[in-house]
């Protein structure tokens, strides 16, 4: 389920079980690109720019806040 949810993201890089892409939570124009890291095996995520992060539930909640 975690992978399916993350598939909606524009994945730019994939390194083994980790995805790096644009952060869907904050406005990328004001932060570093590719700061959004997703660890598939651990089912968690973290944004190096805005500091958001957590598990799949937190991700869905964050996306709801954006929309």
Residue 21, beta-bridge partner list: 11, 36
Interface pattern 2-41 for Zn ion (x via CB under 5 A): ---------------------x-xx---------------
- Tell me how far, at minimum, the Cβ of 53 lies from Zn ion, in Å: 9
At 6 the three-state DSSP class reads helix
Q: Which is nearer to Zn ion, 17 or 27 (CB)?
A: 27
Distance CA 23, CA 49 (A): 8
Which stretches of the chain bind Zn ion, using CB under 5 A? 23, 25-26, 47, 49-50
């Amino acid at each position: 389920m975690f992978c399916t949810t993350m598939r909606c993201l524009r994945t730019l890089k994939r390194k083994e079980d980790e995805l790096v892409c644009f952060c869907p939570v904050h406005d990328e124009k004001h932060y570093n690109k590719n700061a959004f890291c997703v660890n598939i095996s651990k089912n968690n995520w973290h944004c190096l720019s805005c500091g958001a992060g957590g598990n799949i539930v937190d991700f869905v909640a964050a996306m709801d806040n954006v929309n």
